[in-house]
Amino acid sequence: MNLTDSIGSAAACLTTLSFLPQVWHSFKSRDVSGVSLGMYSVFTAGVALWLIYGVLLGAWPIVIANVITLALALAILGMKLRYGRTDGHQRTPESG
């Protein structure tokens, strides 16, 4: 592995791992009040495009990192949609 690949792989690992604390916190607390639905929607679409870009280039560090990041971003987005605040109240599975 050359220096460029090493730097790219390290960057991919760090940026992907940065999502774990948010996913874990959101999963445990079901508190997604600080998560922006608009930001995560646009971010998730961007990650999907990075994934496609990586596939087209055959750049496996980009592909692997973005597959994982996309899964984590979708998890947060899904929790935001399920548990997000509407009209000032926390939604629960029972309230719809």
In a domain? residue 78? yes
Q: Which of 9, 12, 86 is nearest to 47 (CA)?
A: 12
Q: Is position 25 within any domain?
A: no
Structure tokens at 14: 């760090």
Within-domain flag for 10: no
The domain tally of the chain equals: 1
For residue 90, tell me if it sits in a domain. no
* Helices 20-29 + 60-83 axis angle, to 10: 20
**Cβ contacts of residue 69 below 8 Å, gap of 6+?**
15, 16, 19, 47
Q: What is the pLDDT along the chain (96 residues), one digit of tens a residue?
A: 789 888 988 888 898 898 899 889 988 998 898 888 999 899 999 999 999 999 999 988 889 999 999 999 999 999 999 887 554 445 455 555
Return d(Cα 49, Cα 27) in angstroms, integer: 26
Query: Is 22 within the bounds of a domain?
Result: no
The CATH number of whichever domain residue 77 belongs to comes to 1.20.1280.290
pLDDT for residue 74: 94
User: What stretches of the chain adopt beta strand conformation (E)?
Assistant: 85-86, 89-90
Residue 16 inside a domain? The answer is: no
The boundaries of the domain holding residue 60 are 32-83
Task: Write the CB contacts of 83 (distance below 8 Å, at least 6 apart in sequence).
Answer: 26, 30, 31, 32, 90, 91, 92
User: In this predicted structure, what is the pLDDT of residue 8?
Assistant: 84
User: 63 lies in a domain?
Assistant: yes
Residue 14 maps to a domain? no
